[in-house]
């Protein structure tokens, strides 16, 4: 299957700082990238859907000014958690799909964010 | 909003026993996907079902999509310790996928 990377794999930051997470599709062009959030032993909650070159579509209850998403190229999407607070601590996972993959989503390894 | 529920939430089986997880959506789905997530890992795509009543098999795994395209099931025959993990269904509604609540499977050797 296709490979999706995420960076960093984990990050610890102080409350009030901003954190950027990168999601890259390494061997295919990702026209759509999804950002999920997963709490321990729970399911994946879709935060937003981003299509290359256009604004992200955010799910109900997700603050777009707090979780900034940029999908500037067919291989890179970024999620920036602005003014992070302890309640933002979670596992953030991206997935990517493209014309070549059909509807199949290829998931990145995830980023563990801890806000102190 | 759209909800996708899975039952059971947890299942412990003896190695060699069968296992089934059920997925139920509150809305009609375009298609449904199944994923497996190992502890500490990320979801890995297993299969996609599109047609009403579709049945697909992958070795010991059998996947079904309901006639009304609102429910699905995953059945594992003769479980092995390598089957351990959480199984999620993900139903496509409009442009997005809604993940089910997941079923955590433990296989006792």
**Cα B41 versus chain centre, distance:** 17
Q: If pLDDT is split at 50, 70 and 90, which confidence band does A91 have?
A: very high
Secondary structure element (H or E) that encloses residue B96, with its range: strand B96-99
Confidence (pLDDT) at A1: 66
Q: Do B88 and A107 touch (CB under 8 A)?
A: no
Confidence (pLDDT) at B10: 96
Q: Which tokens is A94 given? A: 């991206």
CA distance to partner chain A, nearest, from residue B86 (Å): 9
- Please indicate whether residue A53 or residue B35 has the higher confidence score (pLDDT): B35
Burial class of residue B35 in the structure, from the number of CB atoms within 10 Å of its CB (0-12 exposed, 13-18 middle, 19+ buried): buried
Q: How many CB atoms lie within 10 A of CB A77?
A: 29
Intervals of chain B under pLDDT 50:
none
Q: If pLDDT is split at 50, 70 and 90, which confidence band does A24 have?
A: very high
Size of interface A-B (CB pairs under 8 A): 52
Tell me which residues of chain B have a C-beta less than 8 Å from any C-beta of chain A: 1, 31, 33, 35, 41-45, 48, 88, 90, 92, 95-102, 104
Q: Which tokens is A60 given? A: 């109900």
What is the distance between the alpha carbons of residues B26 and A88, in angstroms, rounded to a whole number?
Answer: 29
């Amino acid at each position: 299957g296709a490979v999706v990377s995420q960076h960093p794999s984990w990050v610890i930051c102080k409350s009030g700082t901003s954190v950027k997470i990168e999601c890259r599709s390494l061997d295919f062009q990702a026209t759509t990238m999804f950002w999920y959030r997963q709490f321990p032993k729970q399911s994946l909650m879709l935060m937003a859907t981003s299509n290359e070159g256009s604004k992200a579509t955010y799910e109900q209850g997700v603050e777009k000014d707090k979780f900034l998403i940029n999908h500037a190229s067919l291989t890179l999407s970024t999620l920036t958690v602005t003014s992070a607070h302890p309640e933002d601590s979670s596992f953030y996972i991206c997935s990517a799909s493209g014309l070549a993959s059909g509807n199949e989503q290829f998931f990145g390894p995830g980023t563990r964010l801890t806000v102190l | 909003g759209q909800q996708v529920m899975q039952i059971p939430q947890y299942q412990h089986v003896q190695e060699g026993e069968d296992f089934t997880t059920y997925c139920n959506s509150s809305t009609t789905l375009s298609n449904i996907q199944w994923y497996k997530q190992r502890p500490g890992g990320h979801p890995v795509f297993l299969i996609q079902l599109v047609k009403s009543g579709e049945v697909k098999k992958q070795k010991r795994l059998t996947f079904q999509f309901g006639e009304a395209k609102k429910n699905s099931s995953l059945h594992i025959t003769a479980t092995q310790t390598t089957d351990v993990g959480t199984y999620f269904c993900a139903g496509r509604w409009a442009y997005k996928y809604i993940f089910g609540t997941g079923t955590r499977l433990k296989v006792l050797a």
